[in-house]
Amino acid sequence: MPMASLADLFAHNRAWAAQMERERPGFFASLTKQQAPKYMWIGCSDSRVPANQITGLDPGEVFVHRNVANVVVHSDLNALSTIQFAVDMLKVEHIMVVGHYGCGGVQAALENRRVGLADNWIRHISDVRDRHRGLLENTAPDKRLDALVELNVIEQVVNVCVSTVMTDAWAKGQKVTVHGWAYGVHDGLLHDLHITVDGADSIEPAYRAAIEGITADRR
């Protein structure tokens, strides 16, 4: 990136900070206190999908973890540690797993396309593709990417729910709910994928209903 562009970033930052302080005096002083967000966002690293702006939340109101194609796997201590901190320390009430339509990582898995080192990460999405091969084959070709985006979110919601962090939290009666959403880069809107889990007993019925919903939508 050219140095002039980096200088612009600092200039924009100073202008933004000054505007925030004018409009909301004491805003940054309030941020120095312990953060207490109610929400955690697990999303894609895609630069077009910024959690705060999409949800209209201020800094300090949503705890964010992002990676390629919003994947949560049990060997990823980065993701699990972030979820554990959100649940055990911050006491978030809602965890949203948010995919987005047109996701490059999901598309690479759908097309079985090699992209490099990230192929090892995208393999997790390929597993989702293979698990739901029948559903995808019965989906119109131009709708398959959207369907796999949604299926990936649903599978990652389940991965969050069966983690030791969530099973322990629910076992002790903690009120925390996991949701699956998809974001439309083309229209800026969030879409509820109708998988909402608030306890270990609701994982399986919520999962089945969400998959059936995708099946019905793609007929």
Question: Which residues are tagged catalytic?
Answer: 44, 46, 48, 100, 103
What's the start-to-end Cα distance of the chain, in Å? Answer: 46
* Residue 141 amino acid letter: P
**Phi-psi sector, 94: left (phi>0), alpha (psi -120 to 50), beta:** beta
AA identity, residue 134: G
For residue 121, what are its two tokens?
């990460």
Query: Residue 35 CB: number of other CB atoms within 10 A?
Result: 13
Q: Which string of b and e fits 149-169 if b means at least 16 CB within 10 Å?
A: bbbbbbbbbbbbbebebbeeb
Residue 65's SS3 state is strand
Please state, in angstroms and rounded to a whole number, the distance separating the CA atoms of residues 63 and 73: 19
The span from the CA of 55 to the CA of 5, in Å, is 28
Instruction: Give the angle subtended at the CA of 111 by the CAs of 43 and 217, to the nearest 5°.
Output: 65
What is the rounded CA–CA span in Å between residue 27 and residue 164?
36
